[in-house]
Amino acid sequence: MKVIPTAIPEVLLLEPQVYGDHRGFFLESFNHQTFAEKTGLDRMFVQDNHSRSKGGILRGLHYQIQQTQGKLMRVVAGEIFDVAVDIRRHSPTFGQWVGEVLSADNHRQLWVPEGFAHGFYVMSDSADVLYKTTDYYAPQHERSILWNDPDIAIDWPLRDPHPVLSAKDQGGDRLADAEVFDA
Ligand SMILES: Cc1cn([C@H]2C[C@H](O)[C@@H](COP(=O)(O)OP(=O)(O)O[C@H]3O[C@H](C)C(=O)[C@H](O)[C@H]3O)O2)c(=O)[nH]c1=O
């Protein structure tokens, strides 16, 4: 597995070793020992999620203010633009974002640490996103930040100007008004 740094040191792009042959391919999508050795992170994942979205859907920006979740994102069908936003008040990269294309073809994974808001935009006609989280879903602690907050200015590769959003995501907070982490 290769670990590729991003503009925010704590956000990591991972490339698994892919074993291709005449039948197709094999890869280890997660190996606890390899993940710890290569990233230096000691995390236990407690939940696996599967999210399918049509093209043009944008989910996010979400985080849990308590029971914070680290997320290991990957795509098994289609292509997404996956975004992590640093919302740790005392971080030198507070309010900055990282966006990476994850796809069924590039097999790339994004490590979104605790203390970050997360969202993705579906660039293909459909996408299946699988991800592991380091704490359990806790809706009472879930918060949303507006996907197009001008103070964050994420450069989403939109297929058209209006992504399809859930009602919750239409009403996200501006970062300036959001509950953020005191880290
Ligand atoms: C996240 C989650 C949701 N649900 C239920 C709650 C709702 O009945 C339904 C859809 O939930 P929601 O609209 O919050 O799903 P997303 O908009 O994909 O939310 C996720 O979107 C962004 C990309 C994230 O990073 C988070 O994982 C998460 O907030 O699934 C569960 O039962 N367990 C869960 O862990």
Please report the pLDDT score of residue 22 as a whole number. 98
Residue of 49, 65, 82 to test ligand 1 pocket, by largest number of atoms within 8 Å of CB:
49
Ligand 1: centre distance to CA 55 (Å) = 18
Please report the pLDDT score of residue 125 as a whole number. 98
How confident is the model over 63-81, as pLDDT tens digits? 999 999 999 999 999 999 9
Torsion of the alpha carbons at 115, 170, 83 and 40, rounded to the nearest 10: 20
Ligand 1: centre distance to CA 100 (Å) = 20
Please report the pLDDT score of residue 38 as a whole number. 98
Tell me the CA distances in angstroms from 134 to 16, 43, 45, 82, 108, one per residue in order.
Answer: 20, 7, 4, 18, 19
d(CA 138, CA 67): 7
Q: Give me the average pLDDT of each 10-residue run along the chain (183 residues).
A: 98 98 98 98 98 98 98 98 98 98 98 98 98 98 98 96 96 96 95
d(CA 47, CA 131): 8
ipTM value: 0.98
What residues line ligand 1, using a CB cutoff of 6 Å? 49, 51, 59-60, 62, 71, 118-120, 137, 166
The structural domains of the chain, ordered by start, are: 2-177 (2.60.120.10)
Of the candidates 22, 31, 24, 172, which has an alpha carbon nearest to the alpha carbon of residue 109? 31
Contact 116, 85 (CB under 8 A): yes
d(CA 145, CA 143): 7
Contact 53, 126 (CB under 8 A): yes
Please report the pLDDT score of residue 113 as a whole number. 98
d(CA 71, CA 68): 10
